Amino acid sequence: MTGISKPVITLVGHCRPDIFALTAAIKGFFPDAEVKTANDTSEMSMPSNLLLVNRILDGQFPDESGIELIRGLPEDAPPAILLTNFPEHAQAAIEAGAQPGFGKADARSPKAENAIRNALAVSIHDESPT
C-alpha cells in the first residue's frame, strides 16, 4: 500500500468523544484521509486501509475485547492497530495479528503517526506535498 495519499481509516469500537479526538489526530497526519466508524461487525465490511481498534469495544460486538476482534479478523482484512495505553495488551494484540500501535494519550504524537504510517506501509518520503 505504499503511496496511499488518501487512506481510508476505520475507527472500530470507539465512543463519540474518542472518535472526535482520533479523527482530528488522523486528519493532522493525513489531511485527505477518510475516517469511518464501525460500532458493530456489519459496519466493519466497509472498504478500509486500516482498522484502529479500541481495547474495550464500544458498540454492538459479540465480545468487548478488541484483542479478540483482531484475533478473529479474516486473512484478507486490512491491517489493525489496537489503541491501548497498557504494554501487556499491546503485546497481546501484536501476538493476535495487530500491527504495533499506540495509546489514546499518544494519539497526536509522532509515535501514533509512525504507527499509522507503518501500518499503511507509507513512508514520509512517499507522501506528495499538498
In this prediction the pTM is 0.89
Burial class (CB in 10 A: 0-12, 13-18, 19+), 124: exposed
Confidence tier at 124 by pLDDT (50, 70, 90):
very low
| Residues pairing with 29 in the sheet | none
Tell me the residue type at 9.
I
Enumerate domains of the chain plus CATH numbers: 1-40+51-60+78-90+98-123 (3.40.50)
Q: Is the pLDDT confidence value at 3 over 80?
A: no
Q: Is the pLDDT confidence value at 10 over 70?
A: yes
